[in-house]
Amino acid sequence: MVNGCIENDRTYQEALYRRFYPVMIGMCMRYTQDRNLAMEIVNSGFLRVFKKLHTFQFTGSLEGWIRKIVYHCLADHFKKKSSNIYFLEIEHGEKPKDNYVLEGLYAEDILKLIDKLPNATRRVFILYAIEGYKHHEIAEAVNISIGTSKWHLSEARKKLKTFLYEEGLIAKNG
């Protein structure tokens, strides 16, 4: 199938797309609840896959290789959408060990930290911090109260702060 795709055979390209689309759309939907946006990201990812398939070396799984490319498309989308990562500002005026540490994190690294959050907390955090929704919009969309939305955001920030401590990217005060 890979060789057929490399030779630009549309039948093989369609087969590869159909085989891995469900997994990739599921991965993208974890980060955005907008199905159209997730489809756009997945399709952009598959375009990259077809352009780079000649570099696949048949070591490791094809699904893992495709997942990595689609994940990079997802990260690129969020990186474009937010040129500065304000949602990772540490509360109470704490500073990172190095002024450039947080800037040096790749979007993929940040998404991996976000992925460690519990589902509901992650969903509210992404809607608020990345996609720019207000608490009343999130409350309506997810069928929760505004207070619950604010709690999830606060909880996400606390947990992300803990993850950053564990990674050694910020110092623990007191």
pLDDT higher at 147 or 133: 147
CA proximity to 32, closest of 2, 75, 93, 90: 75
Q: What pLDDT score was predicted for residue 106?
A: 59
**Could you tell me where in the chain the CATH 1.10.1740 domains are found?**
2-81
| 86-166: CATH, from 1.10.10.10, 3.90.1150.10, 3.40.50.300, 1.10.8.60 | 1.10.10.10
**Confidence category of residue 47, pLDDT binned at 50, 70, 90:** very high
Q: Are 155 and 70 in contact (CB under 8 A)?
A: no
Q: What pLDDT score was predicted for residue 95?
A: 43
How many beta carbons lie within 10 A of that of residue 22, not counting itself?
A: 10
| 2-81: CATH, from 1.10.1740, 3.30.300, 3.30.310, 3.30.70 | 1.10.1740
**Could you tell me where in the chain the CATH 1.10.10.10 domains are found?**
86-166
Please check the confidence at residue 94 and state whether its pLDDT lies above 60: no
Q: What pLDDT score was predicted for residue 80?
A: 73
In total, the chain counts a number of residues equal to 174
For the residues 106-119, what does the mean pLDDT come to? 80
Q: What pLDDT score was predicted for residue 84?
A: 44
Q: What is the mean pLDDT of the chain?
A: 81
CA proximity to 161, closest of 83, 89, 85: 89
CA gap 141, 123 in Å, rounded: 11
CA gap 50, 45 in Å, rounded: 9
CA gap 128, 122 in Å, rounded: 10
Q: What pLDDT score was predicted for residue 21?
A: 95
Task: Please state which of the ranges 26-30, 45-49, 85-89 shows the lowest mean pLDDT.
Answer: 85-89
For the residues 30-40, what does the mean pLDDT come to? 86
Task: Say which amino acid occupies 20.
Answer: F
